[in-house]
Structure 1
Amino acid sequence: MKLRYFLITFLLLSVFMHLTVEWIVPFCETTSSYWYLANNRIVNSDAKVLVLGDSQIVTGVTPQLIAEIEGVTINEVLYLPKPSQQPEGILLESLDVLPKLPKLKKVYVNLSPLNTSKNSVTDANRQLYFSFGGFSFEVITHPLLRKAYFSNLTDLSWKLIIKVFPYFGLSSNINRLVYDPLAQIDVLRRQKEFVYIKESMEKNQGSWVWKSIGDDPTLDAKEVFPENSSQVLSGKRELSIHLWFDFLRLWKERGVNVVFLRIPFSPKMEKDILKTKANLVADDFFKTITADMRAKQDVIVFDFKSVFLEEYRYFGDLTHLNQKGRDAFAVILKKALFDYAHSSAQGM
C-alpha cells in the first residue's frame, strides 16, 4: 500500500510539474527561455535548406535572408539554431532531422573559437541539453555524443530525472532568483524577452535580435573587454573537432552541401582574439576541410571575422550583431555568395 501511494504521489508531482513549468520559464535567463520555446518548432519535410548554429546565427542570419540567397520559399528553410549551441548539439540536431528531410540540399552553420575550444559555453550547452533538450537513442548509441553528454551513469540519471520532474532543470535559474540581486532586478526584462522570443518562434522560426525587446541594443564603444580574456578560446577541444568532422561526414554521405560561416564578434573581442591567436584552431579546421579541390564543391567556407573591426554600432553586445549589424551583414553575405556562385560558374 505504501509503495502504491508513493508511486501515485510521484506521478501526480510529475504531472503537476509538466503542466505548470511554462509559468516558471519566463523567470529564467534568456538562453533557457529560448531553448524551452525552441521545442515548439515544427520540422517541415519540404525543407531544402537547413540552418544550424548558436546565438550568432539567431541574431545575425534570418530565414528570410537564406530563402532569398538560395532562391527558395521561406517554408523551404528550416531554421534550428540555439544559443550556446556546440558541435555535439549541432550533430544531434542533424541526426534527429535527417530522416525527416528527404528534399534537403544544403546546410548552413557557424563555426568560431566558441565551439572549437573548451570554455564556459561548453558547460552551459551541456546543462541546457539536460534541462530542455530532447532525448533520443542517438545520443546513447553515438560514441561522440555519448562522450559529450553521458560520460557516466550519473549524467544519464540526471537527464532522466529532469525529463520526469522538469522543475529540476530550472533549479539553477530559480536559485539565482533567491540569492542574486542582479537576477531579481532582471525579472521584468526576462518576462518581456520571453514574450519576444515566443513571438519570434511563431513568426520567424526563432530568428531574433539578441536581447531586443522592441529596441535595437547598441554596444558602447567604451565598454571594456579585458585584455587577453579570449585566451581561453585559443585551446583546441579535441572532441569538438571530431564532432565537426562527423557532422561533415554525415551530410556529405547524403549529398548535402555544407556552408560554414564565421560571423564577426565585436571589434574589441575580435582584436583580442587576433592577439591571443584564438582563431588558429578554427582556421586550421577550415583549411583542412577545403584542402581537397573536390571538397570545395560540397563544403564552402565564408570567413567574415574581419568585416566589422571598427563598427561598434553594428553590435548589441560583445558577441552579437544588432539590427543595424544584421542588415549590413546581410548585404555582405549576399554579395559573397553571389561572387562565389559567379566564380564557380566561370570555372565550369
Structure 2
Amino acid sequence: MKIRYWILTFVFLSLFMHLTLGWFIPFCETTSSYWYLSKTREGKTSDKIKVLVLGDSQIVSGVSPKLIAEIEGISLDEVLYLPRPSEQPEGILLNSLNLIGKLPNLKKIYVNLSPLNTSKNSITDSHKQLYHSFGTFSLNAITNPFLRKAYFSNLTDISWKTVITVFPYFGISSNLNRLVYDRSTQIDLPRRKEEYLFIKQSMHNLQGSWVWKSVGEDPTLQESEDFPNLNTMILSGKRELSIQLWLDCFKLWEKQKLEVVLLRIPFSPKMEKDILKTKANVVSDEIFKTVTSNSFQKNVVIFDFRAIFLEEYQYFADLTHLNQKGRDAFSLILKRSLFDHTRSSTKSM
C-alpha cells in the first residue's frame, strides 16, 4: 500500500510540475527563457528545408532567417533557424545528428565559430546546465563518445538529467532561489517578464531571431563605458573536447555532402581589441586553417568579419552582441560577401 502511495505521489508531482512549469519561466533569466521557448521549434522539420542555421546568441542577435532566405534566393519556410544562446559545439553536433536524417533536401548549414566556443569558459558550464534543464534527451547524447563526455561524463550527470526530466522544477531551481535571496534579481523581474514576451513573440514570428536584450528600444554600447572585468585571457586556452566536437561536426557534414558557411561574427570593438592582446583568436584560427587545408575545403567556406566594426561602438548592444543598427549594417555586408558565392552554390537546390 505504501509503495502504491509513493508511486502515485511521484506521478502526481511530475504531472503537476510539467503542467505548471511554464508559469515560472517568465521569472527566469534571459538564456533560460530562450531555451525553454525554443523547444516550440522542435519537430518543425520539413522536406522543404534546404538551409539549417545553427550557432549561439551572436547569430540570434545578428543574423535573421529572413536574411538567409534572401541571400540564398529561397523561401523563408525553406530555412530552419535553430541557434541558441550559450551554444557550444556539443549542442551543434547533437542538433546535427538529430536533424540531418529528417531533412532529405538539406543542402547547406550556416554556423558561427569564435573563441567563445573553442575554449573552456563559463559558457561551457552554462551550456551543460541549460541542456540538462531544457534540452530534449537524445540517444545520440549517449552513443556519441564526444557528446557523452560533454553531457554525461559521470553517473551524477545522468542522474541529474533523469531527475529534471521527471521533475522539471529542479531545472529552474537556481533561477527560483535567486528570487528569494538576490535583491538585484527581484528588481530585474519586470524586465525579465518583458524579455520573455519579446522572445515568445520572436519564436512565433521570426523563428527566434531577436536583438539580444532588446525589449522595444535599441540598446547601444557607449565608447566611454568601462568594463573592469573584461579579460579575454581565458578564451585563449584550448578546450580539447571542443576541437574534437567541431571536427566531428565537419566530418558529419562532409559525409552528408552539405556545404558549410562558417561565420566569424564581430564582437564589440573593446572585446575584439582585448582578444587581439590576449591572442584569444589562436584556437579558432587553427580550426579555420584545419577545415580549409584538407578534404573539408570542398564543402566549407569561411567568412571572417572580426575586423569590420573595430570603431563602431554604436552597432553593439553589449560586449558580444550586435544591436538593431549593427544587425542592419552587418546584413548589408553579409549580402555583399555571400551573394555571389551562394548564388553559384544554390543553383542546384
Question: Percent of counterpart pairs with the same letter?
Answer: 66
Q: In the alignment, which of 80, 83, 104 is matched to residue 81 of structure 1? A: 83
- Is the 8 Å Cα contact of residues 110 and 262 (structure 2) preserved in structure 1? yes
2:325 maps to: 324
Q: CA deviation at 1:176?
A: 1.1
- Is the 8 Å Cα contact of residues 228 and 276 (structure 1) preserved in structure 2? no
1:297 maps to: 298
Query: What RMSD in Å do the two structures reach over aligned CA positions?
Result: 1.4
- Is the 8 Å Cα contact of residues 227 and 272 (structure 1) preserved in structure 2? no
Q: Tell me, which stretches of 5 or more residues in structure 1 are unaligned?
A: none
Q: In the alignment, which of 227, 232, 250 is matched to residue 248 of structure 1? A: 250
Q: CA deviation at 1:243?
A: 0.3
Name the CA distance, whole Å, in 1 between partners of 2:51 and 2:342. 17
Q: CA deviation at 1:45?
A: 3.1
Name the CA distance, whole Å, in 2 between partners of 1:342 and 1:283. 27
Pairs aligned (count):
343
SS in 2 for 1:220: coil
- TM-score between the two structures when normalised by the length of structure 2: 0.96
Q: CA deviation at 1:43?
A: 2.4
- Is the 8 Å Cα contact of residues 72 and 339 (structure 2) preserved in structure 1? no
- TM-score between the two structures when normalised by the length of structure 1: 0.96
Name the CA distance, whole Å, in 2 between partners of 1:201 and 1:120. 26
Counterpart residue type for residue 264 of structure 1: P
- Is the 8 Å Cα contact of residues 71 and 342 (structure 2) preserved in structure 1? no
Counting only pairs closer than 5 Å after superposition, residues 229-248 of structure 1 correspond to structure 2 as 229-248=231-250
Q: CA deviation at 1:339?
A: 5.0
1:174 maps to: 176
Q: Does 1:25 align with 2:25?
A: yes
Q: CA deviation at 1:99?
A: 1.4
Q: Does 1:156 align with 2:178?
A: no
Q: Tell me, which stretches of 5 or more residues in structure 2 are unaligned?
A: none
- Is the 8 Å Cα contact of residues 230 and 271 (structure 2) preserved in structure 1? no
- Is the 8 Å Cα contact of residues 254 and 296 (structure 2) preserved in structure 1? no
Q: Deviations over 1:30-82 (max 9, x none)?
A: 00000000000122331000000000000000000000111110000000000
- Is the 8 Å Cα contact of residues 225 and 269 (structure 1) preserved in structure 2? no
Name the CA distance, whole Å, in 1 between partners of 2:80 and 2:280. 31
1:285 maps to: 287
Q: In the alignment, which of 132, 142, 149 is matched to residue 147 of structure 1? A: 149
Q: Deviations over 1:216-246 (max 9, x none)?
A: 1111211223376100000000000000000
1:268–1:76 CA distance, 2 compared to 1 (3 A) = same
1:343–1:226 CA distance, 2 compared to 1 (3 A) = farther
SS in 1 for 2:263: strand
2:12 maps to: 12
Q: Deviations over 1:283-336 (max 9, x none)?
A: 1110111113x6333101011000000000000011000000000000111111
